[in-house]
Structure 1
């Protein structure tokens, strides 16, 4: 009998799918101990039981918990140094491609993604964060509309034959490792049919909206979950990634940040599904959480396509996924050793990180933590450890709260979205909650098998000692980006950059990053590529740089540099004083490796930067950057919900509210004694920074009023007009853009307009 005949026989006799896969696996590679192999398979199946929103059940049957098979790293069918047997051939999919194509719009010539360029061939530029995103998003939208028009003309949905579940190259290409945990797909269905009437986003986004499925991408699902709980929800950092969506035709354009620029992919809405003997179906990979919505399945599929195949996202680092999702930068804190004194001893510094609306946090159990009785293996071979938690597994930090008596708690989420939670003190339903009613009243815990749980700071800080910190940028920040290839020697003309700062800038963030192996077209490089050692050095110059390169080092003053790392990115925030600087990316044994150098500064900054061998005539500057950014159209979403018409504009504009109101007229600005709008913007930002001492990027109402008093001299109507404007236009914490809008409306009220 063929594999397919065996599958059909097992399906006809209502044999559960995991036994189906067991039988096929042992046929391909018979184990020495059949009984123990079956026991291992059943145990893996039980551990793999996830939880998520289900499609409509067949008949009157109750939907069961998703039972996603997850091969562990110790899988007896992996075959030594080779990938599991099923990874060595094309999956057999129902319905097959030949049945789908006649009913869909498809063509190998349809463009479904931007070029994944290497950094060394990209063009230097200086623009704003929003303009950089919008430039790529406009291209994505344009191509999506081409596909949409063809679908509407033919009355058929879109089918992306370039990224089809029935191709080994899409799932697990040659070079996939023995520990591949991408489970074999057997059936597919359109997401819009799996969840009829479901919107792309249902009531915004929340951490519990996405549940990990039968692939070891906890690093990505955890990063998405953390971003969904971001406090800067007014920036819509997750929703904005879907720059185009057409639910009817199954067309989705999704953005990710790779190799120093925003890239896009276009996907269809076919998803792999699993099915019970009763006919109930659920997604095989990422699934929606408590309610039907489409984005959790689609963002995972788009991320896999961005990296050419599903196996490319089988294992990874949350900090890199957060950079891909935000375009920001990320780093890891070590609360066990290196960063214990500053962040791991007292909760106040960690609380500052948590409270920053532009920061997203992930966490994982430190490898030093010893098994305390919860040592069962995880769904993808993760090593069990203390209190029901797992090593080698990515979790999300949802929030942190310090109670009125000073006791700090951290809320964490497991991307599995089930009962695999913390089992220690203050876990779901533990007796400590009743013993300390103060904490129960102030934290209001929910005891659900949803992967989320509370921990005391003292427990969290000694178990979750690897903390991924991702910071993303305000959309009106200015970004200098220079691209190049690592030279044999660091100090050569094409690897030296000169920065001229025309006024003090306390928030300058330097980043150097190298070519990501995951962007390689060779799967062996994607899975085995290594990062080279690198760092960044910045020297203050004692005066303007000389004409001769050989004399430059004679002008070096104080030096600042990042720690050497062998990772994708390295960064350093600096307080730049007015003057000249020399910036040099430095690499170890990395000749020819592509890299990019990025400098991010507030929109009020005044500076210019150039590569030495191109000279000052080719300098990029902040004034030109903002002027050019205004020429890039802001992007809106085509269909956040089926009922929406005309698209919904997202937070990628410099200031939505200001655009809606028109801002202050030149007459009002001049009436305040301010010469022009640019000067007005600088004064507003300076007032904001004067109160935002901690650099959190957000002010509450009291702080906002203090900043406003710094902006304009005291007048009797100031407090009254500010209160009215804040209550109407402010929502809790406000960022610099929203603060500017409140200032606008307050001044308009003061002037009687």
Structure 2
């Protein structure tokens, strides 16, 4: 699905009555193919911009938090503490319907609280890391890869796991624990605060699904449970798109790049340009994943000679240039290598080609440079690959930059907020798509994105006709 750069052609109709709210309507002519972003699956960022203007101020969207299904975390926890009971979530009970669409495919499941699985449970053990996650008996590598990427960005995971210190087990105050957690996901323009209890599905006293290296660390299993609750059951996470999870974790807009398209295999300049783009996204705290296309169901999870797996998602955990050489010679040499570090959610099955963990190529790199890149010779699912080689066999990467929640430009600062309404005109009538209210704080950014998401299924849909953006303010803004 490709989002094209669109030109806002102003069909401004300014209100003649200054007492009324100023209003302009701008129509985007869809002379390029415009795709509706369905449940987070979208392509290039659609930068909406006004020609011939040099805006000096912008605005910031209010990011509200809404209690999912009306469950208020603070109130529920307070009630449990007062009653001295552990929370049991009536909206996501410990039954097979919370695990599967129908039937039970893994045998007798026991739902257990972390305290029943170990004596000293924690959300995090020695901090949070991409290495914390291992995929369980569910085909949700796309979700686990997204979690691995999320774990590398403190500013982002603290949005998904709010108040983590307050939610952490406190051995000194055991009476403060109520068996309740909450996590936040971006859902249709706002953060949804999702409440769960801490009962997790187990078989033979082992977690069935996502789990950590450390048997007493539970953040990944609890985040996965909250995500499964939003989607209806755990099985709903079996098969998906990493970009969906990246959007849900950040409120961002994903940008897929198909490396089988374009001139990446023949054009070195195109490959260099791609690496610069990926490096830029990484340095701006973006989340990146990649995968290899499976052409048939028989191809799914087939292992290639290079060690990578088809139809499987990998998290990109680092992107950088690495100096070649040792000692002072490395600083005087201009030669640098472009490197991308990736992680398999399975925690195993790594790349075995050039620059794999124990390959002889690492002898060209000093120990200090290897430490910077986090090179470890162990089967942990994480590996490095030369940036120039990522084009083959990896076919797609999803760059998910932190979403600048700013939407429009104007020359004069508004006295109040700015209200934006979006309509789709098709076959003679307007369909209301959504609205957002933005503040009037100044900004020096000059390009912004409008992101449309369908609440239906995950299949691609075209958005025909024209898209109308109506901007309403409390006072007149000049030259918008």
- Which digits, 9 at most, give the CA deviation of each residue in 1:318-376, with x for residues without a partner? 111100001111120122223736753456514533542231110012458x9xxxxxx
Q: Distance in 2 between matches of 1:312 and 1:509?
A: 33
CA contact (8 A) 1:228 1:238 kept: yes
Q: Distance in 1 between matches of 2:252 and 2:321?
A: 28
SS at match of 1:288: coil
Counterpart check, 1:364 vs 2:291? yes
Q: 1:269 to 1:386 in 2, by over 3 A?
A: same
CA contact (8 A) 1:185 1:272 kept: no
Q: Distance in 1 between matches of 2:132 and 2:364?
A: 29
RMSD across aligned positions (CA): 4.1
Q: Given the alignment, which residue of 140, 156, 171 partners 2:99? A: 171
Counterpart check, 1:513 vs 2:452? yes
Q: Distance in 1 between matches of 2:239 and 2:96?
A: 21
Structure index of larger Rg = 1
Alignment partner, residue 219 of structure 2: 295
Q: Given the alignment, which residue of 532, 545, 549 partners 2:461? A: 532
Counterpart check, 1:188 vs 2:111? yes
SS at match of 1:243: coil
Quick check: 332-341 or 303-312, which moved more?
Answer: 332-341
Shift in Å, 1:415: 0.6
Alignment partner, residue 387 of structure 2: 457
Alignment partner, residue 344 of structure 1: 271
CA contact (8 A) 2:59 2:443 kept: no
CA contact (8 A) 2:424 2:432 kept: no
CA contact (8 A) 2:314 2:344 kept: yes
Q: Distance in 1 between matches of 2:199 and 2:275?
A: 46
CA contact (8 A) 1:192 1:269 kept: no
Q: Distance in 1 between matches of 2:129 and 2:303?
A: 27
Q: Given the alignment, which residue of 457, 478, 489 partners 2:427? A: 489
Q: 1:450 to 1:493 in 2, by over 3 A?
A: closer
CA contact (8 A) 2:425 2:465 kept: no
Counterpart check, 1:262 vs 2:186? no
Alignment partner, residue 152 of structure 2: 229
Shift in Å, 1:424: 1.5
Q: 1:185 to 1:240 in 2, by over 3 A?
A: farther
Alignment partner, residue 52 of structure 2: none
Counterpart check, 1:210 vs 2:210? no
Alignment partner, residue 132 of structure 1: 63
Quick check: 407-416 or 397-406, which moved more?
Answer: 397-406
SS at match of 2:288: strand
- Which digits, 9 at most, give the CA deviation of each residue in 1:374-408, with x for residues without a partner? xxx89xx5232231111111100011221222211
> Equivalences for 1:16-415 in 2 at 5 Å?
128=60, 131-133=62-64, 135-136=65-66, 143-168=72-97, 170-173=98-101, 183-184=106-107, 186-230=109-153, 233=154, 235=155, 237-243=156-162, 245=167, 247=169, 248-275=177-204, 281-290=205-214, 292-338=216-262, 340=264, 344-345=271-272, 348-350=275-277, 352-367=279-294, 381-404=300-323, 405-415=335-345
CA contact (8 A) 2:423 2:430 kept: no
SS at match of 2:342: strand
Instruction: Kindly indicate whether structure 1 or structure 2 has the higher relative contact order, using CA contacts under 8 Å at least 6 residues apart.
Output: 2
CA contact (8 A) 2:275 2:387 kept: no
Shift in Å, 1:200: 1.8
Q: Distance in 1 between matches of 2:238 and 2:73?
A: 28
CA contact (8 A) 2:424 2:430 kept: no
Shift in Å, 1:453: 0.6
CA contact (8 A) 1:213 1:287 kept: yes
SS at match of 1:257: strand
Q: 1:246 to 1:397 in 2, by over 3 A?
A: closer
The structure that is helix-richer by fraction is 1
- Which digits, 9 at most, give the CA deviation of each residue in 1:61-106, with x for residues without a partner? xxxxxxxxxxxxxxxxxxxxxxxxxxxxxxxxxxxxxxxxxxxxxx
Shift in Å, 1:312: 1.5
Q: 1:440 to 1:617 in 2, by over 3 A?
A: closer
Q: Distance in 2 between matches of 1:516 and 1:496?
A: 12
Shift in Å, 1:462: 1.7
Shift in Å, 1:287: 0.4
Shift in Å, 1:190: 0.3
Shift in Å, 1:420: 1.1
Alignment partner, residue 361 of structure 2: 432
Q: Distance in 1 between matches of 2:272 and 2:59?
A: 40
Q: Distance in 1 between matches of 2:117 and 2:130?
A: 22
SS at match of 1:238: helix
Q: 1:140 to 1:440 in 2, by over 3 A?
A: farther
Quick check: 255-264 or 479-488, which moved more?
Answer: 479-488
Q: 1:483 to 1:416 in 2, by over 3 A?
A: farther
